[in-house]
A = this chain, B = another copy of it.
Amino acid sequence: MNEITLRLSKASAAPLFEQLYAYIKKEIKSGSFSKNEKLPSKRQLAAALGCSQNTVQAAYNQLVAEGYLVSRAKSGYYVAPLDGILSLGAARKTPAAQDTETVRYLYDFSHQGVDFESFPFAAWRKLTKEVINEYDRDLLKTGDPKGYPPLRAGIARYLHHSRGVSCTPEQIIISSGTEFLLQLLIQLFGGGDVYAIENPGYEKLSMIFKSNRASYRSVPLDAHGLRPGALSESGANIVCVTPSHQFPTGRIMPVSRRIQLLNWAGEKPDRYIVEDDYDSEFRYSGRPIPSLQGLDQGGKVIYLGALSKSMSPALRVSYMVLPEPLLAAYEEKLNFYICPVPTIEQKVLQRFIDEGHFERHLNRMRNLYRLKREALVAAIREMLPGAELDGAPAGLHLTLRMPGGADEAALVQKAKARQVRIYGLSRYYSERPEAGYPNDLLLGFATLSIDEIPKAVDLLRKAWENP
């Protein structure tokens, strides 16, 4: 019998039984005990260690529960046969090396993020306090898998009123980010589908389809958006578009092109249109462009929306509207996925919408972003003569082309040297266009203040002026 040479410490934070348990376990794992070896009786060990038999009993019980010891009736405790335990070797420690971007930018024309000063903290805080003060049992239960029904009703009303989307609350599914909604859609459609994506377009789409082993084709754009001829030739049966404000070109798809798409979808039962209405809340001249979904009479459009632009990307709330024929399939196949948005947040958001805060916030932000866009356009016109602007007066970004075929990468690099971050449009191409990349730049203006915008453009001027 292997001798147990442990000294139990009453000063230790660990109870005596745990010290004994840990010691024996370590000895077994290190091979100091042979398999089937008998352990000392409780009485013997308690006497040797100067502890109570209960302490030994507790340690032995734990080791039996974990399978290190086996207990044989009227005989005692034995080391379990643990073949292979010796082969486990020593623990590794490999701290991950970090290779992070260390450039500090003064100004970042990111198209992500929102105005930092304008989040409706007061209302959000008040509603959050209200919700968590209610000791509400719903806050502890797994709720409706499609999302909190009153929130879905609020979103349905908002979409009807503001986006011309025609739907019932039952058709709405709430999730966290477009990427999660697309995963659900891919699973809803099953395999065998071919998706068409805009080229250039939202850069995550190709990653999501690739990662989910779904086929996709890049379809080029013309001035009106996705080219219908190229769509037909692509062999795709599900097309993803951003008709209200194409990302990244900023163009609006006219109704004629929308109808072409709807008619294309109507030609075959397995054809669908995924409409990503990511920043449609913001249009600065006239009314917002109504959704494509509102034109659809054939149940062919899946509408995606999010609060990333209108509220904050950190809220992680997005939603989709399924046409009736797909809704039944969703409920049959995918209702086991539980809405990832916490119930507290869903309740806060529902009140935020129902009490009119959302609409007021949108109106306020629309005015603010209009001023920012005007400041950016004015600064470019003044300081970067010859620059061509593209994109409708809408959304939170525009695109810029410098005269003389200036190289995109060089422009980005020179701006970086002045600590201004801008983004080349080439990164949004899932496939290189035949004519090569157009050397366009994307400038988001939501996160910069109105004062910062001309300063940032002035730095771009300095960065790009001839040496």
Given A183-B183, A211-B187, A255-B68; A314-B260 close (CB under 8 Å)? no
With known contacts A213-B191, A334-B211, A342-B342, A286–B58 Cβ distance under 8 A: yes
A9 interface hit (Cβ, 8 Å):
no
- Do residues B87 and A263 form an inter-chain contact, with CB atoms below 8 A? yes
Given contacts A263-B84, A314-B342, contact A333 B211 (CB under 8 A): yes
In A67-115, which residues have CB < 8 Å from any B CB? 67-68, 80-85, 87-92, 94-96, 112-114
Q: Is the CB of A116 within 8 A of B96?
A: no
Q: For the complex, give the distance between the alpha carbons of A255 and B132 in Å.
A: 43
A88:B179 contact, CB within 8 angstroms? no
Docked complex Cα distance between A315 and B21 (Å)? 35
CA distance A343 to B315 in the complex (A): 7
Q: Does A344 contact B (CB under 8 A)?
A: yes
B interface footprint on A353-366 (CB within 8 Å = 1, 0 otherwise): 00000000000000
Check A338/B316 contact, CB under 8 A, given A191-B213, A286-B62, A295-B88: yes
* Chain B: minimal CB distance from A242 (Å): 15
Which of A129, A208, A316, A345 has its CB near the most chain B CB atoms (within 10 A)? A316
Q: B67 touching A256 by the CB < 8 A rule?
A: yes
A8 interfacial contact with B, CB 8 Å? no
In the bound complex, how far is the Cα of B180 from the Cα of A112, in angstroms? 24
Taking a contact as CB atoms under 8 Å apart, the answer to whether B297 and A90 are in contact is: yes
- How far is A175 from B142 in the complex, measured between Cα atoms in Å? 16
Q: How far is the CA of A105 from the CA of B143 in the complex (A)?
A: 18
Choose one: B96, B133, B175, B177; the contact of A168 (CB below 8 Å): B96
Contact B124 A128 (CB under 8 A): no
Whether A340 contacts B286 by the Cβ 8 Å rule is: no
- Against B, the Cβ 8 Å flags (1 = close, 0 = not) of A15-27 are 0001001000000
Residue pair B297, A88 in contact (C-beta under 8 Å):
yes
Interface string of A382-409 (1 = CB under 8 A from B): 0000000000100000000000000000
Tell me if A36 counts as interface (CB < 8 A to partner B). no
A465 within 8 A of B: no
> What is the total number of residues of chain A having a CB less than 8 Å from a CB of chain B?
107
Q: Is B334 touching A112 in the complex (CB atoms < 8 A)? A: no
The distance from the CB of A204 to the nearest CB of chain B, in whole angstroms, is 5
User: Is there a chain B Cβ closer than 8 Å to A439's Cβ?
Assistant: no
**Taking the complex as formed, is A152 at the interface, i.e. its CB lies under 8 A from any CB of chain B?**
no
Asked if B177 contacts A340 (CB within 8 A), the reply is yes
CA distance A256 to B28 in the complex (A): 12
User: A310-330: contact bitstring with B at CB < 8 Å (1 yes, 0 no)?
Assistant: 001111110000001001000
Can you list 27 A-B contacts with CB-CB less than 8 angstroms, sorted by A residue number? A65-B289, A65-B392, A80-B255, A82-B255, A88-B259, A88-B298, A89-B297, A91-B166, A92-B297, A113-B140, A113-B142, A121-B132, A125-B133, A128-B132, A140-B313, A142-B308, A175-B340, A176-B341, A177-B337, A179-B336, A183-B183, A187-B211, A211-B334, A313-B338, A317-B342, A341-B342, A344-B345
* A residues apposed to B, CB below 8 Å: 18, 21, 58, 61-62, 65-68, 80-85, 87-92, 94-96, 112-114, 116, 119, 121, 124-125, 128-129, 132-133, 135, 137-143, 166, 168, 170, 175-177, 179-180, 183, 187, 190-191, 204, 207-208, 211-213, 224, 252-260, 262-263, 266, 285-287, 289-290, 295-299, 308, 312-317, 324, 327, 333-334, 336-345, 392
